[in-house]
Structure 1
Amino acid sequence: MNQLVPPALSLYVHIPWCVQKCPYCDFNSHALKAEIPEQEYIAALLEDLDSDIERYQLNKKPRPLHSIFIGGGTPSLISAQGIADLLAGIEQRVPFKESIEITMEANPGTIEAERFAGYRKAGVTRISIGVQSFEPEKLEKLGRIHGKDEAVNAANLAHQIGLTSFNLDLMHGLPNQSVDQALKDLEKAIELDPPHLSWYQLTIEPNTMFYYKQPTLPDDDDLWDIFELGHQKLAAAGYVQYEISGYSKPGYQCQHNLNYWRFGDYLGIGCGSHGKLSFSDGRIIRTTKVKHPRGYLAAYQNMVKPYLNSEADVAAEDRPFEFFMNRFRLMEACPKQDFLDTTGLGFEAIQETIDWAKEMGYIDENETHWQITEKGKLFLNDLLEAFMAEE
């Protein structure tokens, strides 16, 4: 095993509460039944971070945080002062890169939108607004609590308050959605001129309401037309697809997501959050935290159990799959040196598979990079399965 070069370090913060659970959502989110224990949860998050710092000796060779992503749930249910206290506490523990990107997810409801300026003052540089659709009937079917006007107002406000960037989350392939309806949704999003658009297809995930009572979704032909025509509209409007569902104006890619897909490192704090850390001795570990808010807060209140739920080493034979599963999500060419630096493996571990993938027309190769081809994107599952370790 070669020595690892620890990559950029990010931080994911999970806020588990939302007003109500959406029928398509399989994230670790919990419908709010009382007031959020805001101060207590923020204190628990910072203690969770302290635990990671101590456990993994992160203060011995400190790496500045490349990015922070505050997700959920609905993080915008937390007050602006609460977010300010959280970010100040994080910076006291881990240094921030000078140009750090700090993203926060938000619902476009009126109450949350009014807080946007406060979040910016607290240190948030980028807001991701969960629009999903502009059609009232579709929003109701998706269980969303906002309307079209609130979504438009939230996007306009994001422009006005001087954020570095903001994102609109938009879905297609919705229940009973026609090609025309999907494209009109996209046209409305483009009209609002966000620097970044996450445009992705609704998928039915296990353990969701849609899984147990499945809606009627567009057929494969319609889905292909939506994607192809939508991609043309986005390109014509100046958006560049840089990952499977991520489109941005030049220079506005989500740095946090890029670090994920480049097989970077990230700490995860909060209920059910995931982390991945690399060490110079060659180890790579993945972590998860206690999933339910009650159990998580119990760790803070009386240390019934620690925040850490699981910790597992990423075995050498699993690293090629994990690396390419992330890298081939991106449209950019993959530097070969990144594979050596972030997996600790040599090229001999993958050479046979690389040769096969080239022969199949799934990737192109030059002296310094690999590039997934259009054919490779169509047969991505086959390509990735070839890198999986044999049982």
Structure 2
Amino acid sequence: MLSLPPLSLYIHIPWCVQKCPYCDFNSHALKGDVPHEEYVNHLLTDLDQDLAYTGGREISTIFIGGGTPSLLSSEAMQRLLDGVRRRLPVNAFAEITMEANPGTVEAERFHAYHQAGVNRISIGVQSFNEEKLIRLGRIHGAQEARGAARLAAGLGLRSFNLDLMHGLPDQTLEQALDDLRQAIALNPPHLSWYQLTIEPNTLFGSRPPVLPDDDALWDIFEQGNHLLAAAGYRQYETSAYAKPGFQCEHNLNYWRFGDYLGIGCGAHGKLSQADGTLLRTVKTRHPRGYMQGNYLEKRYGVEPADLPFEYFMNRFRLTEPTPRQEFSAFTGLDEETVRSALDQALAGGYISEDDSCWQVTEKGKLFLNPLLEMFME
């Protein structure tokens, strides 16, 4: 029998001041003003149409992503979160995260966002090197990034995160480590530190820049990990580091194969149903179509044969052990259905196993894609 995991809510705000050359997220360069009130109305109507699939469950976390959610007015944010609370039970201690770019962080508005219920901010810094910021198409400077972090630290939030990239065009080891040192000096409770990858449907995809080679990337990763560990950060996911007790609860729910409603342009959802069905939803990507009331692009059930790969693709991103009982509880499948893949992974030294859990080994972390491919068959 399928167990219903915790339920989160993802809300997508699709506009940015300009599109960054590396970004393959569903974001659109803003032409004119953000349609604050109109878009919030559509978000709440979109939510109304998905309520039947929630089973009346409580929302444990909310994540407002983009795009640049901090382009939304504080009044619109208040209406949005009030509207969510009227429609769904939201846990009184729910983590509510909003993404923000340093160039859009203003003290007055952020106090108002906090009053609306936002208690965690994720700031897209990416680098403190002015030359690299220009190369990445960012509209903020290093001073604005530091100011945004200090503002977040003084707001009385539950937590805040800094997003930082490494492996940037022509980036040296010392430049990458300097970025990390500057981020650590701002003492964020959470750091997302991830490698720049070139995605096909981006400007960098059509005109690839020169990136550090594999040996240089390994040196950056290895020495960066030492810096983070020495500063008290613990890696708990492939590219996420946190001080003890400050992991991102919303992302943890994703990686633990929890459920999430997705509303807004291009948002994805995963919803377990009481009858054992696991539904995926995808919302209309472009704001034009979405704001004509055409919210749903597709809704479909996940085939049982696809569930092992989907489950382990998420679970094995985490450094924590994977409870064996949860595989059956959250997929409805018996462990025997993946026994041969598990045995192959064990024989290859990619995972370890005991009576209660599976644990990805150091080798498994380094060769995560080959490990996951074992569960595709």
Q: Are positions 1:310 and 2:298 aligned together?
A: yes
State the one-letter code of the partner of 1:162: G
Matched AA of 2:157:
L
Does 2:292 align with 1:298?
Answer: yes
Q: Could you say what secondary structure the match of 1:115 adopts? A: helix
| C-alpha distance after superposition, 1:108-133 (max 9, x if no partner) | 11554542211111100100000000
CA distance in 2, matches of 1:138, 1:115: 28
Q: Tell me what 2:330 maps to.
A: 342
Structure 2 residues without counterparts, runs of 5 or longer: none
| In the alignment, structure 1 residue 199 sits paired with structure 2 residue 187 | no
Is residue 80 of structure 1 aligned with residue 74 of structure 2?
A: yes
> Partner residue of 1:270?
264
RMSD across aligned positions (CA): 0.9
Question: Secondary structure at the residue paired with 2:220?
Answer: helix
Structure 2 match to 1:32: 30
Residues 110, 150 of structure 1: 8 Å contact kept: no
SS in 2 for 1:109: helix
Which of 162, 168, 193 is equivalent to 2:162? 168
**Amino acid of the residue matched to residue 345 of structure 2?**
A
With normalisation by structure 2, the TM-score equals 0.99
Q: How far apart, CA to CA, are the structure 2 residues paired with 1:365 and 1:353?
A: 13
**Residues 209 and 131 from structure 1, CA distance in 2 versus in 1: closer, same or farther, beyond 3 angstroms?**
same
2:320 paired with 1:332: yes
2:71 and 2:104 in contact (8 A); partners too: no
CA contact (8 A) 1:271 1:291 kept: yes
Identity of aligned residues (%): 63
Deviations 1:202-258 (A, max 9, x none): 000011000111111111111000000000000000000000000000000000000
Match of 1:145 among 139, 144, 164: 139
* 2:46 pairs with 1:52: no
Q: In structure 2, the residue corresponding to 1:99 is in which secondary structure?
A: strand
For 1:281 and 1:246, how far apart are their aligned partners in 2?
34
The aligned counterpart of 2:9 is 11
Q: Which residue of the partner structure matches residue 302 of structure 1?
A: none
Cα deviation, residue 157, structure 1 = 0.7
- The Cα offsets for residues 42-101 of structure 1, whole Å up to 9 and x where unpaired, read as 0000000000114x2x3xx41110100000000000011111110000010010112100
Equivalent in the alignment of 1:361: 349
Query: What is the aligned partner in structure 1 of residue 273 from structure 2?
Result: 279
Q: Distance in 2 between matches of 1:110 and 1:293?
A: 21
1:93 to 77, 83, 87: 87
Per-residue deviation, residues 119-159 of structure 1 (Å, max 9, x unmatched): 11110010000000001100000000001111101101111
Which residue of 1 is the match for residue 205 of structure 2?
A: 211
Q: Corresponding residue for 1:132?
A: 126
Matched position secondary structure for 1:350: helix
Letter in 2 for 1:148: A
In structure 2, C-alpha distance between the alignment counterparts of 1:307 and 1:12, rounded to whole Å: 15
Matched, 1:242 2:240: no
The reply to whether residue 42 of structure 1 matches residue 36 of structure 2 is no
* C-alpha contact (below 8 Å) 2:105/2:148 kept by paired residues: no
Q: TM-score, normalised by structure 1?
A: 0.95
Q: Which residue type is aligned with residue 162 of structure 2?
A: L
Structure 2 Cα separation of the partners of residues 356 and 173 of structure 1 = 33
Residue of structure 2 in register with 1:378 after alignment: 366
Structure 1 residue ranges without an equivalent (≥5) = 300-305
CA deviations 1:162-213 (Å, max 9, x no partner) are: 0000000000000110000000000000000000000000000011000111
- Following the alignment from structure 2 to structure 1, what is the Cα–Cα distance between the partners of residues 7 and 105? 33
AA of the residue aligned to 1:296: Y
1:352 counterpart = 2:352: no
Please tell me the residue identity of whatever aligns with 1:253.
Q
SS of 2:327's equivalent in the other structure is helix
Pick from 117, 121, 130 the counterpart of residue 123 of structure 1.
117
